[in-house]
Amino acid sequence: MKKLILLKWLVRYLWITGVLAMGVMLFSYLHFLFTGTLNAVVKINGVEVQGMTIEKHILLLLIYFSLGLGLRAVFLLDDVLDYFKNLKPFSHSVIKNFNEIGVLFVVSALITGIPCFLLSGYFGNGIERTFSVTPGPIIMLICLGLFFMVLSELFKIAKAAKEENELTV
């Protein structure tokens, strides 16, 4: 249970810092937008974006939206950990939340991945073709999302087995 409490603290910390970061990002974006200083060099995931066009604004908003989805997933994970803490691991909400977390991570990865690819390909220094031993963060996020979806299915099976066991006389 100590590990669960530690995980819960970390997830809550992640959520609070995430919400603060999103607030700061939104404030900065609006500030730059209204003061007209957004034409300065902006770095998105390590890609330098010079001169803001309408397409880049849309891409920035997409990335912001995907961060929001990620935060929602963290919030749901915190909710799931509450159920674990209350010793209700096979609750319907846990199964539903795990599936939703998975979908959110996959959608977030795709929403982040496509704009970053476009940014590096068309607005950056051209598409880089690099080979690395470690998988990229987008692939990792998709794997994490699929893992949560599989976990949801496993919990569904486990819940059915538990109910069957309880209703065996």
Contact 47, 123 (CB under 8 A): yes
User: Is residue 162 a contact residue for other proteins (CB under 8 A)?
Assistant: no
User: Is residue 1 a contact residue for other proteins (CB under 8 A)?
Assistant: no
Nearer Cβ to other proteins (87/167): 167
- As a whole number of angstroms, the distance between CA 59 and CA 57 comes to 5
Q: Whole-number minimum distance, CB 90 to other proteins, in Å? A: 16
| Closest among 76, 79, 81, 84 to 100, alpha carbons compared | 76
User: Is residue 55 a contact residue for other proteins (CB under 8 A)?
Assistant: no
User: Is residue 157 a contact residue for other proteins (CB under 8 A)?
Assistant: no
Q: Whole-number minimum distance, CB 163 to other proteins, in Å? A: 7
- As a whole number of angstroms, the distance between CA 75 and CA 80 comes to 9
Nearer Cβ to other proteins (128/166): 166
Q: Whole-number minimum distance, CB 161 to other proteins, in Å? A: 10
- Residue ranges binding other proteins (CB under 8 A): 163-164, 167-169
